[in-house]
Structure 1
Amino acid sequence: MLEGEERRQALLARLHQSNLAISASKFAAEFGVSRQVIVGDVALLRAAGEDIIATARGYKIDKEAQEVGYMAKIAVQHGEEATQQELEIILSFGAEVVDVIVEHELYGELVGGLYIRTHEDIQRFMDKYQNSQSNLLSQLTNGIHLHTIRYKRTTDLDKIKAVLAEKGILYQG
Protein backbone atom coordinates (compact mmCIF):
# COMPACT_ATOMS: atom_id res chain seq x y z
CA MET A 1 0.00 0.00 0.00
CA LEU A 2 1.34 3.41 -1.01
CA GLU A 3 1.49 6.17 1.58
CA GLY A 4 0.35 9.81 1.28
CA GLU A 5 2.43 11.73 -1.24
CA GLU A 6 3.50 8.60 -3.11
CA ARG A 7 -0.16 7.56 -3.54
CA ARG A 8 -1.15 11.05 -4.71
CA GLN A 9 1.62 11.07 -7.30
CA ALA A 10 0.56 7.61 -8.53
CA LEU A 11 -3.07 8.78 -8.70
CA LEU A 12 -2.02 11.89 -10.65
CA ALA A 13 0.07 9.80 -13.06
CA ARG A 14 -2.92 7.51 -13.73
CA LEU A 15 -5.15 10.50 -14.42
CA HIS A 16 -2.63 11.97 -16.87
CA GLN A 17 -2.42 8.63 -18.70
CA SER A 18 -6.17 8.19 -19.03
CA ASN A 19 -8.60 9.94 -21.34
CA LEU A 20 -11.51 8.51 -19.36
CA ALA A 21 -12.74 9.49 -15.93
CA ILE A 22 -11.68 7.18 -13.08
CA SER A 23 -13.96 6.83 -10.06
CA ALA A 24 -12.81 7.37 -6.48
CA SER A 25 -14.03 3.83 -5.72
CA LYS A 26 -11.80 2.38 -8.43
CA PHE A 27 -8.80 4.30 -7.11
CA ALA A 28 -9.66 3.20 -3.56
CA ALA A 29 -9.67 -0.47 -4.59
CA GLU A 30 -6.47 -0.04 -6.57
CA PHE A 31 -4.59 1.65 -3.73
CA GLY A 32 -6.16 -0.32 -0.86
CA VAL A 33 -7.62 2.72 0.90
CA SER A 34 -11.11 4.09 1.48
CA ARG A 35 -12.96 6.17 -1.07
CA GLN A 36 -12.81 9.09 1.37
CA VAL A 37 -8.98 8.92 1.42
CA ILE A 38 -9.02 9.28 -2.38
CA VAL A 39 -11.43 12.24 -2.15
CA GLY A 40 -8.99 13.86 0.28
CA ASP A 41 -6.03 13.08 -1.99
CA VAL A 42 -7.78 14.72 -4.92
CA ALA A 43 -8.64 17.76 -2.80
CA LEU A 44 -4.96 18.13 -1.87
CA LEU A 45 -3.88 17.76 -5.51
CA ARG A 46 -6.42 20.37 -6.62
CA ALA A 47 -5.30 22.73 -3.86
CA ALA A 48 -1.75 22.31 -5.19
CA GLY A 49 -2.92 23.56 -8.59
CA GLU A 50 -3.60 20.34 -10.50
CA ASP A 51 -6.38 20.62 -13.10
CA ILE A 52 -8.43 17.67 -11.85
CA ILE A 53 -12.13 17.82 -12.53
CA ALA A 54 -14.82 15.76 -10.87
CA THR A 55 -17.44 14.43 -13.27
CA ALA A 56 -20.40 12.15 -12.65
CA ARG A 57 -18.21 9.31 -13.92
CA GLY A 58 -15.16 10.10 -11.79
CA TYR A 59 -12.01 12.20 -11.85
CA LYS A 60 -10.04 13.28 -14.90
CA ILE A 61 -7.44 15.80 -15.94
CA ASP A 62 -9.00 18.74 -17.77
CA LYS A 63 -6.95 18.34 -20.97
CA GLU A 64 -9.44 20.23 -23.13
CA ALA A 65 -9.31 23.36 -20.97
CA GLN A 66 -6.36 24.73 -22.89
CA GLU A 67 -7.70 23.77 -26.34
CA VAL A 68 -10.78 26.00 -26.38
CA GLY A 69 -10.09 29.69 -26.54
CA TYR A 70 -12.77 31.47 -24.51
CA MET A 71 -14.79 31.06 -21.33
CA ALA A 72 -17.80 32.99 -20.08
CA LYS A 73 -20.63 32.75 -17.61
CA ILE A 74 -24.20 33.09 -18.81
CA ALA A 75 -27.27 33.65 -16.63
CA VAL A 76 -30.35 31.61 -17.46
CA GLN A 77 -33.74 30.84 -15.93
CA HIS A 78 -36.06 27.98 -16.80
CA GLY A 79 -37.94 25.05 -15.35
CA GLU A 80 -36.70 21.49 -15.46
CA GLU A 81 -38.60 20.88 -18.71
CA ALA A 82 -36.20 23.18 -20.62
CA THR A 83 -32.97 21.71 -19.22
CA GLN A 84 -32.20 19.50 -22.21
CA GLN A 85 -33.14 22.22 -24.69
CA GLU A 86 -30.82 24.69 -22.94
CA LEU A 87 -27.88 22.27 -23.07
CA GLU A 88 -28.54 21.38 -26.72
CA ILE A 89 -28.59 25.05 -27.72
CA ILE A 90 -25.21 25.67 -26.10
CA LEU A 91 -23.65 22.57 -27.68
CA SER A 92 -25.10 23.41 -31.10
CA PHE A 93 -22.48 26.17 -31.35
CA GLY A 94 -19.61 23.85 -30.50
CA ALA A 95 -19.43 25.05 -26.90
CA GLU A 96 -19.05 23.02 -23.71
CA VAL A 97 -21.13 23.44 -20.56
CA VAL A 98 -18.49 23.36 -17.82
CA ASP A 99 -20.66 23.80 -14.75
CA VAL A 100 -23.85 25.07 -13.17
CA ILE A 101 -23.77 27.71 -10.42
CA VAL A 102 -26.52 28.85 -8.06
CA GLU A 103 -26.50 31.38 -5.25
CA HIS A 104 -27.81 29.69 -2.10
CA GLU A 105 -29.14 31.76 0.80
CA LEU A 106 -27.27 29.72 3.43
CA TYR A 107 -24.21 28.31 1.63
CA GLY A 108 -23.44 31.06 -0.86
CA GLU A 109 -22.29 29.97 -4.30
CA LEU A 110 -22.88 26.29 -5.08
CA VAL A 111 -21.12 24.88 -8.14
CA GLY A 112 -21.82 21.57 -9.84
CA GLY A 113 -19.38 20.33 -12.46
CA LEU A 114 -21.12 19.22 -15.67
CA TYR A 115 -18.41 19.05 -18.38
CA ILE A 116 -21.00 18.41 -21.08
CA ARG A 117 -19.32 18.34 -24.51
CA THR A 118 -21.43 15.96 -26.58
CA HIS A 119 -25.06 15.03 -27.13
CA GLU A 120 -24.24 11.70 -25.47
CA ASP A 121 -23.13 13.65 -22.38
CA ILE A 122 -26.49 15.45 -22.40
CA GLN A 123 -28.36 12.17 -22.66
CA ARG A 124 -26.31 10.61 -19.84
CA PHE A 125 -26.97 13.63 -17.64
CA MET A 126 -30.70 13.65 -18.38
CA ASP A 127 -30.98 9.88 -17.84
CA LYS A 128 -29.13 10.13 -14.55
CA TYR A 129 -31.35 13.02 -13.43
CA GLN A 130 -34.58 11.27 -14.41
CA ASN A 131 -33.55 8.01 -12.74
CA SER A 132 -32.45 9.66 -9.49
CA GLN A 133 -34.20 11.15 -6.51
CA SER A 134 -32.10 14.31 -6.93
CA ASN A 135 -33.19 17.82 -7.79
CA LEU A 136 -31.46 20.15 -10.21
CA LEU A 137 -29.48 22.88 -8.45
CA SER A 138 -31.59 25.44 -10.31
CA GLN A 139 -34.66 24.20 -8.45
CA LEU A 140 -33.19 25.85 -5.33
CA THR A 141 -33.34 29.28 -6.98
CA ASN A 142 -36.61 29.42 -8.92
CA GLY A 143 -34.78 28.25 -12.03
CA ILE A 144 -32.18 31.04 -12.01
CA HIS A 145 -28.63 29.77 -12.49
CA LEU A 146 -25.36 30.42 -14.25
CA HIS A 147 -23.38 28.20 -16.59
CA THR A 148 -19.70 28.52 -17.29
CA ILE A 149 -19.23 27.71 -20.95
CA ARG A 150 -16.17 27.23 -23.16
CA TYR A 151 -16.38 28.23 -26.80
CA LYS A 152 -14.05 28.57 -29.78
CA ARG A 153 -14.87 31.85 -31.51
CA THR A 154 -15.65 35.25 -30.01
CA THR A 155 -18.89 35.38 -32.00
CA ASP A 156 -20.17 32.09 -30.51
CA LEU A 157 -21.16 33.64 -27.18
CA ASP A 158 -23.43 36.24 -28.81
CA LYS A 159 -25.07 33.56 -30.96
CA ILE A 160 -25.67 31.28 -27.96
CA LYS A 161 -27.19 34.13 -25.96
CA ALA A 162 -29.39 35.19 -28.88
CA VAL A 163 -30.91 31.72 -29.28
CA LEU A 164 -31.34 31.28 -25.52
CA ALA A 165 -33.09 34.68 -25.40
CA GLU A 166 -35.32 33.74 -28.34
CA LYS A 167 -36.37 30.57 -26.49
CA GLY A 168 -37.06 32.50 -23.27
CA ILE A 169 -34.19 30.79 -21.41
CA LEU A 170 -31.63 33.62 -21.09
CA TYR A 171 -32.17 35.44 -17.78
CA GLN A 172 -33.43 38.95 -18.40
CA GLY A 173 -33.56 40.15 -14.78
Structure 2
Amino acid sequence: MKKMLGEERRLHLLAQLKNSTTPITGTDLAKFANVSRQVIVNDMTLLKARNEPIIATSQGYLYMHQEHLQHTVERTIPCFHTSQDAEDELLTIVDCGGTVKNVIVEHPIYGEITASLMVSNRHEVKKFIERVNETQASYLSELTGGTHLHVISAPSTEILNLIERTLEKKGYLIADQ
Protein backbone atom coordinates (compact mmCIF):
# COMPACT_ATOMS: atom_id res chain seq x y z
CA MET A 1 0.00 0.00 0.00
CA LYS A 2 1.17 3.49 -0.87
CA LYS A 3 1.98 5.89 1.96
CA MET A 4 -0.62 8.68 2.26
CA LEU A 5 0.71 12.20 2.54
CA GLY A 6 -0.32 15.19 4.65
CA GLU A 7 -3.72 16.72 4.06
CA GLU A 8 -4.98 13.82 1.92
CA ARG A 9 -4.17 11.42 4.77
CA ARG A 10 -5.88 13.60 7.37
CA LEU A 11 -9.03 13.78 5.22
CA HIS A 12 -9.07 9.99 4.87
CA LEU A 13 -8.49 9.54 8.62
CA LEU A 14 -11.29 11.97 9.40
CA ALA A 15 -13.63 10.05 7.08
CA GLN A 16 -12.68 6.78 8.82
CA LEU A 17 -13.48 8.27 12.21
CA LYS A 18 -16.76 9.85 11.07
CA ASN A 19 -17.93 6.53 9.61
CA SER A 20 -17.13 4.52 12.73
CA THR A 21 -19.45 4.14 15.69
CA THR A 22 -16.64 2.71 17.83
CA PRO A 23 -13.17 4.03 18.68
CA ILE A 24 -10.33 3.22 16.26
CA THR A 25 -6.86 2.65 17.67
CA GLY A 26 -3.92 4.74 16.54
CA THR A 27 -2.24 1.50 15.44
CA ASP A 28 -5.17 0.61 13.17
CA LEU A 29 -5.25 4.12 11.70
CA ALA A 30 -1.48 3.92 11.12
CA LYS A 31 -1.89 0.63 9.23
CA PHE A 32 -4.72 2.14 7.17
CA ALA A 33 -2.58 5.16 6.20
CA ASN A 34 0.70 3.21 5.99
CA VAL A 35 2.44 5.56 8.42
CA SER A 36 3.76 5.33 11.98
CA ARG A 37 1.55 5.66 15.03
CA GLN A 38 3.37 8.90 15.92
CA VAL A 39 2.29 10.41 12.58
CA ILE A 40 -1.31 9.53 13.54
CA VAL A 41 -0.89 11.23 16.94
CA ASN A 42 0.32 14.36 15.15
CA ASP A 43 -2.54 14.18 12.62
CA MET A 44 -5.12 13.87 15.40
CA THR A 45 -3.58 16.91 17.14
CA LEU A 46 -3.83 18.92 13.90
CA LEU A 47 -7.44 17.83 13.33
CA LYS A 48 -8.41 18.73 16.92
CA ALA A 49 -6.76 22.13 16.44
CA ARG A 50 -9.25 22.67 13.57
CA ASN A 51 -12.06 22.06 16.06
CA GLU A 52 -12.88 18.59 14.80
CA PRO A 53 -14.64 16.85 17.75
CA ILE A 54 -12.15 14.00 18.04
CA ILE A 55 -11.37 12.56 21.43
CA ALA A 56 -8.66 10.13 22.39
CA THR A 57 -10.09 7.39 24.58
CA SER A 58 -8.49 4.38 26.18
CA GLN A 59 -9.93 2.32 23.28
CA GLY A 60 -8.76 4.63 20.50
CA TYR A 61 -9.87 7.77 18.68
CA LEU A 62 -13.56 8.63 18.46
CA TYR A 63 -15.40 11.26 16.45
CA MET A 64 -18.16 12.85 18.53
CA HIS A 65 -21.08 13.35 16.17
CA GLN A 66 -23.34 16.30 16.98
CA GLU A 67 -26.51 14.15 17.14
CA HIS A 68 -24.85 11.93 19.77
CA LEU A 69 -24.06 14.97 21.89
CA GLN A 70 -27.61 16.36 21.70
CA HIS A 71 -29.39 13.31 23.18
CA THR A 72 -27.52 13.12 26.46
CA VAL A 73 -27.26 14.97 29.74
CA GLU A 74 -24.05 15.27 31.75
CA ARG A 75 -23.07 15.59 35.37
CA THR A 76 -19.72 15.88 37.12
CA ILE A 77 -19.63 13.46 40.02
CA PRO A 78 -17.05 13.61 42.86
CA CYS A 79 -15.74 10.15 43.73
CA PHE A 80 -13.37 8.51 46.18
CA HIS A 81 -12.19 4.89 46.32
CA THR A 82 -9.10 2.71 46.22
CA SER A 83 -7.53 1.44 43.00
CA GLN A 84 -8.97 -1.99 43.76
CA ASP A 85 -12.48 -0.52 43.44
CA ALA A 86 -11.91 1.25 40.09
CA GLU A 87 -13.37 -1.57 38.00
CA ASP A 88 -16.44 -1.89 40.24
CA GLU A 89 -17.01 1.87 40.10
CA LEU A 90 -16.88 1.93 36.29
CA LEU A 91 -19.09 -1.17 35.99
CA THR A 92 -21.61 0.39 38.37
CA ILE A 93 -21.88 3.48 36.17
CA VAL A 94 -22.21 1.64 32.85
CA ASP A 95 -24.60 -0.96 34.30
CA CYS A 96 -26.92 1.89 35.30
CA GLY A 97 -26.83 3.20 31.71
CA GLY A 98 -24.18 5.90 31.89
CA THR A 99 -21.01 6.66 29.97
CA VAL A 100 -17.88 7.62 31.88
CA LYS A 101 -16.52 10.37 29.68
CA ASN A 102 -13.40 11.16 31.67
CA VAL A 103 -11.56 11.27 34.96
CA ILE A 104 -10.29 14.51 36.48
CA VAL A 105 -7.82 14.97 39.34
CA GLU A 106 -6.39 18.08 40.96
CA HIS A 107 -2.60 17.77 40.99
CA PRO A 108 -0.61 20.01 43.41
CA ILE A 109 1.92 20.97 40.70
CA TYR A 110 0.13 20.64 37.36
CA GLY A 111 -3.36 21.69 38.44
CA GLU A 112 -6.31 19.94 36.85
CA ILE A 113 -5.44 16.80 34.87
CA THR A 114 -8.16 15.29 32.70
CA ALA A 115 -8.03 11.98 30.87
CA SER A 116 -10.69 10.74 28.47
CA LEU A 117 -12.17 7.31 29.21
CA MET A 118 -15.37 7.06 27.11
CA VAL A 119 -16.50 3.71 28.50
CA SER A 120 -20.19 2.94 28.19
CA ASN A 121 -20.52 -0.83 28.52
CA ARG A 122 -18.97 -3.82 30.31
CA HIS A 123 -16.80 -4.77 27.33
CA GLU A 124 -15.21 -1.30 27.18
CA VAL A 125 -14.61 -1.31 30.94
CA LYS A 126 -13.00 -4.75 30.68
CA LYS A 127 -10.71 -3.58 27.85
CA PHE A 128 -9.75 -0.47 29.84
CA ILE A 129 -8.91 -2.48 32.97
CA GLU A 130 -6.95 -5.03 30.90
CA ARG A 131 -4.92 -2.21 29.37
CA VAL A 132 -4.18 -0.70 32.79
CA ASN A 133 -3.05 -4.11 34.04
CA GLU A 134 -1.01 -4.96 30.90
CA THR A 135 0.88 -1.67 31.01
CA GLN A 136 1.09 -1.63 34.82
CA ALA A 137 -0.11 1.97 34.64
CA SER A 138 -1.38 3.81 37.69
CA TYR A 139 -4.88 5.25 37.87
CA LEU A 140 -4.89 9.04 37.92
CA SER A 141 -6.81 8.92 41.20
CA GLU A 142 -3.70 7.42 42.83
CA LEU A 143 -2.13 10.90 42.52
CA THR A 144 -4.79 12.24 44.89
CA GLY A 145 -5.18 9.33 47.28
CA GLY A 146 -8.37 8.17 45.55
CA THR A 147 -10.18 11.49 45.15
CA HIS A 148 -11.32 12.26 41.58
CA LEU A 149 -14.15 13.55 39.44
CA HIS A 150 -15.95 11.81 36.59
CA VAL A 151 -17.98 13.52 33.91
CA ILE A 152 -20.85 11.10 33.29
CA SER A 153 -23.28 11.29 30.39
CA ALA A 154 -26.59 9.48 30.17
CA PRO A 155 -29.82 9.58 28.15
CA SER A 156 -31.74 11.23 31.02
CA THR A 157 -31.47 13.00 34.37
CA GLU A 158 -33.23 10.03 35.96
CA ILE A 159 -30.35 7.75 34.94
CA LEU A 160 -27.80 10.23 36.29
CA ASN A 161 -29.73 10.27 39.58
CA LEU A 162 -29.74 6.44 39.66
CA ILE A 163 -25.98 6.39 39.05
CA GLU A 164 -25.37 8.81 41.92
CA ARG A 165 -27.63 6.88 44.32
CA THR A 166 -25.93 3.58 43.41
CA LEU A 167 -22.42 5.02 43.80
CA GLU A 168 -23.46 6.53 47.13
CA LYS A 169 -24.73 3.14 48.39
CA LYS A 170 -21.36 1.60 47.49
CA GLY A 171 -19.50 4.37 49.33
CA TYR A 172 -17.82 5.75 46.18
CA LEU A 173 -19.32 9.26 46.31
CA ILE A 174 -17.73 12.12 48.20
CA ALA A 175 -20.55 13.26 50.45
CA ASP A 176 -21.35 16.90 51.11
CA GLN A 177 -19.47 18.01 54.22
Cα distance in 2 for partners of 1:23, 1:91 equals 22
Matched, 1:24 2:9: no
- Segments of structure 1 that go 5 or more residues without pairing to the other structure are none
4+ runs of 1 displaced by more than 4 Å?
Answer: none
The TM-score, its normalising length taken from structure 2, stands at 0.87
The one of 132, 155, 158 equivalent to 2:158 is: 155
Q: Alpha-carbon deviation of 1:75?
A: 0.5
Matched, 1:85 2:88: yes
2:173 is paired with a residue whose SS is coil
Cα distance in 2 for partners of 1:72, 1:52 equals 21
- Structure 1 residue aligned with 2:113: 110
- Structure 2 residue aligned with 1:49: 51
Write the deviation string for residues 123-162 of structure 1: whole angstroms up to 9, x where unpaired: 2222222333111110000100010110112222222222
User: Given the superposition, is the C-alpha separation of residues 131 and 7 from structure 1 closer, same or farther in structure 2, using an over 3 Å criterion?
Assistant: closer
For structure 1, which segment, 94-103 or 27-36, has the greater mean C-alpha deviation from structure 2 after superposition? 27-36
User: Given the superposition, is the C-alpha separation of residues 167 and 27 from structure 1 closer, same or farther in structure 2, using an over 3 Å criterion?
Assistant: closer
Write the deviation string for residues 18-58 of structure 1: whole angstroms up to 9, x where unpaired: 23332223333333433222111111111211121212232
1:131 is paired with a residue whose SS is helix
- Segments of structure 2 that go 5 or more residues without pairing to the other structure are none
Counterpart contact for 2:58–2:118, Cα < 8 Å: no
Root mean square deviation, CA, Å = 1.9
Counterpart contact for 2:55–2:64, Cα < 8 Å: yes
Counterpart contact for 1:68–1:150, Cα < 8 Å: no
Equivalent residues, number = 173
Matching of residues 139-154 of structure 1 within 5 Å: 139-154=142-157
Q: Alpha-carbon deviation of 1:97?
A: 0.7
Cα distance in 1 for partners of 2:29, 2:76 equals 33
Cα distance in 1 for partners of 2:133, 2:35 equals 32
% of aligned pairs identical?
38
Cα distance in 2 for partners of 1:32, 1:91 equals 35
For structure 1, which segment, 94-103 or 58-67, has the greater mean C-alpha deviation from structure 2 after superposition? 58-67
Cα distance in 1 for partners of 2:21, 2:97 equals 20
User: Given the superposition, is the C-alpha separation of residues 5 and 66 from structure 1 closer, same or farther in structure 2, using an over 3 Å criterion?
Assistant: same
User: Given the superposition, is the C-alpha separation of residues 29 and 122 from structure 1 closer, same or farther in structure 2, using an over 3 Å criterion?
Assistant: closer
User: Given the superposition, is the C-alpha separation of residues 111 and 65 from structure 1 closer, same or farther in structure 2, using an over 3 Å criterion?
Assistant: farther
Write the deviation string for residues 92-141 of structure 1: whole angstroms up to 9, x where unpaired: 32111111111112222211211111111122222222333111110000
Cα distance in 1 for partners of 2:89, 2:52 equals 30
Q: Alpha-carbon deviation of 1:17?
A: 2.0
